[in-house]
Structure 1
Amino acid sequence: MTGTDPRRRDDGLGWVTRAVFPDERVRLTLLPAGASQPALDPADRLLARYAVVPSPARARFLLPLGPRRVTAASVWAYNALRPLRVRLPRALLGLAARTGVLQVTRPAVLTVSAGPEPAGQLTLVDHLAAHSGGARWYAAIGVRPPDPNHKPTVQLFDAAGRPRGYAKIGWNDATRELVRAEAAALAAVAPVAGVGDHPVVPRLLAAGEWSGQAVTVVEPLPADVRGVGVGEPPQVAAVLAVARRGGAPAAPQPLAGSAFLDRLRRSAAAAASDPDGTAAAGGPAAGAADPLAGRRLAAAVERLAERFEQVRVEFGHWHGDWVPWNLGRYAGRLVAWDWEHSGPEVPVGFDLAHDAFQRKLVLDGAPAASAAAAVDAQLHRLAPALGVDAERRRLIVQSYLIEMWLRTWRLAAGGAGWNPALHPALLDVIEQRGAD
């Protein structure tokens, strides 16, 4: 066949196809829009074809070219969760696919094929389908700009266009850790999901390793789930149910001697010995600006320990990325997804701190100092529900900011580079607050 293998590209289409189709025995052939589709070599097996939308240079989707209802479903699914400016174009694209207009326009096409041997599941889609009964599945693959922190996502559909699963692929150290963490979190919260005030969560369908990648597959969200508005206040009862795993509050414990402080110290020591993530990433992390950053953070942890060592606070679990765009509603219940930063033994209130911090940082585009001030304001407002006084609030805020810097460092150490919105500005904020 003629054409080019997009895995050789250095754009979004390149990194996504390298992650989703890592096996070099799988042949990828990209043909430009309008090109005639040549016949496969007689020795080849056709595994899948995808429309590259809107174009290879600006690719956003790889849409499965199978039954029209499947192609349409791949852009209609979850559309209600998206803002109106995104929903309308996707709805029109799905209509074009369903009526055959998309195919008539002859978009750029990615053909996935393989030789006759070895037989078996050479693609992730076929591998997952084989472990779920063996029926034919189709995949819709999102394309984003290259970023070591991005995880390729794959929507899975059956031949009738029904969603069957949603897969995330961890392809480097940073993303593999996150994908595995999400699988562990979903398995842990499954017994209490949807009980009382605890949010409903997607059911974990599969998790494991495939072709050197970490893969987590969850059940599709309900078709009529609706997103939580970015202006809605945080759901405090749901946050507390997550922190307490649907149970009663834990007895407050002093910061000194806690598993949380021990973990902060160990993480800070690792950052101090490898401030740029050089050892973990195989080279300096992109954007590193301060070779002493890890030592500065370690010193901030010790100031935290000295100031608050006898302050007693409740410890529990957290979702880890509690923000409106990871929440929805279905049948009167709150639904929460994207649990990849979840973990135990953190001060209760971390999710509320994260909600305020990210709203200010992401939605308002505010600097780290303003985002930290938003955390102060939110925890002050919600103090009665949390049952914390001013000193405990200060402990929660300062330790949350330290946790966020360590998350930023871990991602850099895993190959994702530094987040310029948080480093080095967040470390400056932490030091200034620790000195007050």
Structure 2
Amino acid sequence: MAGTTLSIAVGAPRANAKPVLALHNRRGEVVLWAKTSTNDLTAGLVRHEHHVLSALATRPPASFEAPATLGLLDLATGPALLMRPLVSASSRPAPADTVPADVVAVVAELATRAGVVAMTAGRWSPLGPDAPREATALLHLWHSRHRGPVPVGAWHGDFGPWNMRRTASRAQVWDWERAETGAPLGVDAVHYGSHVVLRGQDVRASLEHLRAVAVPAVERVLRAAGAPDTTADAVVDAYLLLVHRRFASEGAAEGTGAVLALAAHYAEVLRARPDPSAPRHPHDRKETEHP
């Protein structure tokens, strides 16, 4: 095509890595993105993202904008998703260490778009019949800790500053291949403020970060969605389980040791999290509670 340039973006090696092609015009502007696939895992992700973007286009969200899909091509290597780029005249940096108010609004709208179900904690299960053994054990642990109703909706699955841009009017959010329903409200807020941090910290530091950053962020999302904020600890624990499930399944399928190590870390952090259902020891009470 005259006056156009094709480029290929190459990222860090990971289980879901795939070539992403960009078509540029003479001014260097991207006019088309093409996300391709190379194996069964990435083919499924590409097809799923096409389905999610098509659904978002039927009822455009108020607080964020997603790429417009231009179609799905069947190539010899697998499906390729064609997308129109998101364009913005100006943008603000998206902080990674806090969850700002406009990001809370995006998470709340995203989570409630498909409706919210107040599900008894004992009925929630994100695992299929072929789930890794440790993920099943962690789900039993989650059920033993959390017994009340938990609001369940949708989540982006990889919502963070690396997959969004904050503009003057609303956020722009891309990379929807991990989106799914059936997740406790607020898990995207945990991912936004904690995913990168947890990958670089030991268990003790991870626990402190979740207490200081993730739990308050989830409480804000729950209040914005009109749900009780008392389930924040259940949401944080559910997030750790969901990401462990992803890393364990994909690490085993692709034989990626680094991904399996991340799965083990998330499992360790979840097991070390405080159990809100456990009775408090008398010595744990504040001094003001003593006669």
Q: TM-score range by the shorter chain?
A: 0.7 to 0.9
Q: Normalising to structure 2: TM-score of the pair?
A: 0.79
What residue is the counterpart of 1:187 in the other structure? 54
What is the CA distance between 1:304 and its match in structure 2?
1.9
Is 1:395 the counterpart of 2:271 in the alignment? no
Query: Using the alignment, how far apart are the partners of 1:414 and 1:165 within structure 2?
Result: 31
User: CA offset at residue 270 of structure 1?
Assistant: 1.6
Return the alpha-carbon distance in structure 1 between the equivalents of residues 164 and 73 of structure 2: 25
The structure 1 residue matched to 2:10, chosen from 129, 133, 143, is 143
After superposition, what is the alpha-carbon deviation per residue over 1:241-261, rounded to whole angstroms, capped at 9, x for unaligned? 00111x8x735221233xx41
Correspondence 1:270 to 2:130: yes
Per-residue CA deviation, residues 68-117 of structure 1 (Å, 9 max, x unaligned), is xx4xxxxxxxxxxxxxxxxxxxxxxxxxxxxxxxxxxxxxxxxxxxxxxx
Bigger mean CA offset, 426-435 vs 175-184: 426-435
2: CA distance between counterparts of 1:209 and 1:142?
20
Instruction: Specify the alignment match of 1:252 in structure 2.
Output: 118
Q: Could you give the per-residue CA deviations for residues 213-258 of structure 1, whole angstroms, max 9, x where no partner exists?
A: 121111112153535332563311111000111x8x735221233x
Q: Report the identity percentage.
A: 26
Matched, 1:211 2:48: no
1:249-398 map, 5 Å: 250=116, 252-257=118-123, 260-261=124-125, 263-264=126-127, 266=128, 269-271=129-131, 294-309=132-147, 311-361=148-198, 365-367=200-202, 370-382=205-217, 383-387=219-223, 388-390=228-230, 392-398=231-237
CA contact (8 A) 1:173 1:414 kept: no
Q: Distance in 2 between matches of 1:218 and 1:171?
A: 18
Q: How many Å apart are 1:396 and its aligned residue?
A: 1.1
RMSD of the TM alignment (CA)? 2.8
Q: Report what 2:85 is aligned to.
A: 220
Output the CA distance in 1 between the equivalents of 2:204 and 2:192. 15
The equivalent of 1:428 in structure 2 is 268
CA contact (8 A) 2:107 2:221 kept: no
Q: Does 1:410 align with 2:245?
A: no
Distance 1:368 1:214 in 2: 39
Which secondary structure does the structure 1 equivalent of 2:31 belong to? Answer: strand
Distance 1:194 1:297, change over 3 A: closer
> How far apart are the structure 2 equivalents of 1:389 and 1:351?
15
* Per-residue deviation, 1:141: 1.1
TM-score, normalising length: structure 1: 0.55
User: Offset at 1:389?
Assistant: 4.4
SS at match of 2:122: coil
Structure 2 partner of 1:37: none
Deviations 1:34-87 (A, max 9, x none): xxxxxxxxxxxxxx9xxxxxxxxxxxxxxxxx75xx4xxxxxxxxxxxxxxxxx
What one-letter code is carried by the residue in structure 1 that aligns with 2:144?
E
Residues paired across the two proteins, number: 267
What letter is aligned with 1:209?
A: D
Cα distance in structure 1, aligned partners of 2:28 and 2:213 = 43
Provide structure 2 residue ranges, at least 5 long, that are not aligned to the other structure: 279-291
| C-alpha separation in 2, matches of 1:358 and 1:413 | 21
One-letter code of the match for 2:72? A
Matched residues in 1 for 2:229 and 2:26: separation? Answer: 57
Task: State the structure with more CA Rg.
Answer: 1
Equivalent residues of 1:372, 1:401 under 8 A apart? no
- 1:353 CA displacement: 1.2
Q: What are structure 1's unaligned runs of at least 5 residues?
A: 1-47, 49-65, 71-137, 272-293
Q: Distance in 2 between matches of 1:253 and 1:303?
A: 17
Residue 226 of structure 1 aligns to a residue whose secondary structure is coil
Q: Which amino acid aligns with 2:74?
A: E
**How far, CA to CA, are the matches of 1:244 and 1:431 in structure 2?**
29
Quote how far apart the aligned CAs of 1:348 are. Answer: 0.3
Contact 1:243 1:348 in 2 (8 A): yes
SS at match of 2:80: strand
Which amino acid letter does the alignment assign opposite residue 378 of structure 1? V
AA aligned opposite 2:222 = L
SS in 2 for 1:302: helix
Partner of 1:7: none
Q: Which runs of structure 2 are paired with 1:157-176 in the superposition (5 Å)?
A: 157-158=24-25, 163-176=30-43
Any conservation in 1 of the 2:19–2:36 contact (CA below 8 Å)? yes
